[in-house]
C-alpha cells in the first residue's frame, strides 16, 4: 500500500510540476507552442536513446538482435501520430487556458470516456473509476466555488493599466 501511495503522490507531484513549468514557459515567457513541443520531443528521443545504449530494461539487447523497427507495421504509426497531435493540443490548451483548466478538461474527458464506455460497450466502470470520478469532480466543484484572490502584485499591475 505505502509503495503504491508514494508512487502515486510522486507521480502527481511531478505532473503538477510539469504543468507549472509548461505554463511558465508557454504563458509567461511567451514561448511558441510548436518549438516547445519540438524541444520536449528531442529530450524524449535522447532519453530513449540513452535507454537503448545503456540497456536499462532489456530493450537495447532486443534492438541489437532484431533491429529498431523489426516489430513495426503500418498501424504502429497510428498511436505515434495520435500521441504527437495530443501533445500539441495539450501545449496549446496549457498556453491559452492554463494548467488548471487543462486539468479540468482532462477530468471531463475521463468522465466522458467512462460514460461512453457504459453506453457503447455496456460494460460497467471499474470500482477504482467509480471512486476516482466523484473525487475529481468534487475537487473541481470545490475549486470553482472559491473565488480567486488577487495577489498584491496583480492588484498593483491592474491599477497601472
- Residue 137: pLDDT band with limits 50, 70, 90: confident
Q: Given this model, what pLDDT does residue 157 score?
A: 56
Residue 12's nearest CA partner among 103, 86, 87 is 103
pTM of the shown model: 0.61
Least confident of 39-53, 67-81, 89-103: 89-103
Does residue 154 have a pLDDT over 70? no
Question: What is the percent of the chain where pLDDT is above 70?
Answer: 91
> H helices within 24-151, ranges in order?
33-54, 59-66, 77-97, 99-116, 127-145
Q: Given this model, what pLDDT does residue 159 score?
A: 63
pLDDT per residue as tens digits for the range 28-57: 888 888 888 888 889 999 999 999 999 999
Contact 95, 27 (CB under 8 A): yes
Amino acid at each position: 500500500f505505502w509503495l503504491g501511495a508514494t508512487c502515486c503522490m510522486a507521480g502527481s507531484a511531478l505532473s503538477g510540476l510539469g504543468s507549472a513549468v509548461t505554463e511558465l514557459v508557454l504563458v509567461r515567457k511567451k514561448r511558441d507552442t510548436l518549438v516547445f513541443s519540438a524541444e520536449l520531443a528531442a529530450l524524449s528521443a535522447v532519453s530513449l536513446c540513452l535507454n537503448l545504449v545503456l540497456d536499462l530494461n532489456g530493450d537495447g539487447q532486443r534492438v541489437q538482435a532484431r533491429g529498431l523497427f523489426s516489430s513495426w507495421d503500418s498501424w504502429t504509426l497510428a498511436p505515434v501520430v495520435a500521441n504527437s497531435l495530443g501533445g500539441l493540443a495539450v501545449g496549446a490548451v496549457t498556453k491559452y487556458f492554463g494548467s488548471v483548466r487543462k486539468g479540468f478538461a482532462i477530468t471531463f474527458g475521463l468522465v466522458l470516456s467512462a460514460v461512453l464506455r457504459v453506453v457503447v460497450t455496456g460494460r460497467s466502470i471499474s470500482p477504482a473509476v467509480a471512486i476516482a470520478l466523484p473525487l475529481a469532480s468534487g475537487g473541481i466543484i470545490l475549486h470553482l466555488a472559491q473565488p480567486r484572490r488577487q495577489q498584491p502584485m496583480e492588484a498593483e499591475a491592474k491599477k497601472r493599466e
